[in-house]
């Protein structure tokens, strides 16, 4: 969903520029985008159907490489058919490696030119770069320079036509509130059943936190009818409600997924990161932001409520302020 929500400002920008936009997606992403843009043409394309274990995400992808390559071929065939059907001039793909065509310009969005992995990192990135080179340009949703959000995730010795297009967030044009209603908001994502197990562990130990009012975004707990005097459970929220809830929370406990990180530039809250165990990108980003002094973190195994600091960690929005207008950044792109 992170790849889906972060392209919303890009879709809105293209519509504002009087382009006809056609969306291609699958699963819950397809449903979300249909509801978000009811007047646009939405086509369904096949997904990769990757299964994640409790180990390392990058290795999971490597072991399932034959399935992934088959998925890339399938989506490429489907996209070629859609290009002819709709007479498409430009394709913009967010991390969908097969979504390109020789019949039109094709652009690839990623924040991972240097995928982190405990072993076989060179091989994984060799494969990664092989597919990225099939596109005309590679767009990185980050700022170019010493102060950036991706660290060495976007450092690569391989030559690409790379353009840094600035952070992408569906909240970029929304104003942040300083009024706080919740002491803490919990938002835990990741593969099941591991996600739910860890979520329930957090709730079991939550009384030790001494928080008086806590919010938790959890469709599963919501529909199970979870009840507590001081815990308010929310299902999936609309974008305005989601933004409002995060702003009303003093502390946000969440995964350091890159889309969440970009959203934090437009939210007035203190983040505390708990990376998904074995997801090397999140583990790297959590350590990177802690080293920068922007956020604190804990591993799942070592988490305890007393580790959440009183210090008001915050991303350095003031250092990015003149580069956070998404539409201004996208105006630099020549399609």
Q: Quickly list DSSP for 122-164.
A: HHHHHHHHHHHTTSSEEEESS--SSS-SSGGGG--SS---EEE
Query: pLDDT digit string (tens) for 79-108?
Result: 999 999 999 999 999 999 999 999 999 999
Q: Which residues of 238-264 are buried (b: 16+ CB within 10 A; e: fewer)?
A: eeeebbbbbbbbbbbbbbbbbbbbbbb
Query: pLDDT digit string (tens) for 229-247?
Result: 999 999 988 899 999 999 9
Is the pLDDT score of 54 beyond 60?
A: no
pLDDT at 144: 82
Domains of the chain: 2-168 (3.40.50.2000), 182-317 (3.40.50.2000)
> Distances from the Cα of 39 to the Cαs of 16, 27, 34, 256, 332, in angstroms?
14, 19, 8, 33, 27
Q: Which residue has the higher pLDDT, 276 or 177?
A: 276
Predicted TM-score of the model (pTM): 0.90
Is the pLDDT score of 4 beyond 80?
A: yes
């Amino acid at each position: 969903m992170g790849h889906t929500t972060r392209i919303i400002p890009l879709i809105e920008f293209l519509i504002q520029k009087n382009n006809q936009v056609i969306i291609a997606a699958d699963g819950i992403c397809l449903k979300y985008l249909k509801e978000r843009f009811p007047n646009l043409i939405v086509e369904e394309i096949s997904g990769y159907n990757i299964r994640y274990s409790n180990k390392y995400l990058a290795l999971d992808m490597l072991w399932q490489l034959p399935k992934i390559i088959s998925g890339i071929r399938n989506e490429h065939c489907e996209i070629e058919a859609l290009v002819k059907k709709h007479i498409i001039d430009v394709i913009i793909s967010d991390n969908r490696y097969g979504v390109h065509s020789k019949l039109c310009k094709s652009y690839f969005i990623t924040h991972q030119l240097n995928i982190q992995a405990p072993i076989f990192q060179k091989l994984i990135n060799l494969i990664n770069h092989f597919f990225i080179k099939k596109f005309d340009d590679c767009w990185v949703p980050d700022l170019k320079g010493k102060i950036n959000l991706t660290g060495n995730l976007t450092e690569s010795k391989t030559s690409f036509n790379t353009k840094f297009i600035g952070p992408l967030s569906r909240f970029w044009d929304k104003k942040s509130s300083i009024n706080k209603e919740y002491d803490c908001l919990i938002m835990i994502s990741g593969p099941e059943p591991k996600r739910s197990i860890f979520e329930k562990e957090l709730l079991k130990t939550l009384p030790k936190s001494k928080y008086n009012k806590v919010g938790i975004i959890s469709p599963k707990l919501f529909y199970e009818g979870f009840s507590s005097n001081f815990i308010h459970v929310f299902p999936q929220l609309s974008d305005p409600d989601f933004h409002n809830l995060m702003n009303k929370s003093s502390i946000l406990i969440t995964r350091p997924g890159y889309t969440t990180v970009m959203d934090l530039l437009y939210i007035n809250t203190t983040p505390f990161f708990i990376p998904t165990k074995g997801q090397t990108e999140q583990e790297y980003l959590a350590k990177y932001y802690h080293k920068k002094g922007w956020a604190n973190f804990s591993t799942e195994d070592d988490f305890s409520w007393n580790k959440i600091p009183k210090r008001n960690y915050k991303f350095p929005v003031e250092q990015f302020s003149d580069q956070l207008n998404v539409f201004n950044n996208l105006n630099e792109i020549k399609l």
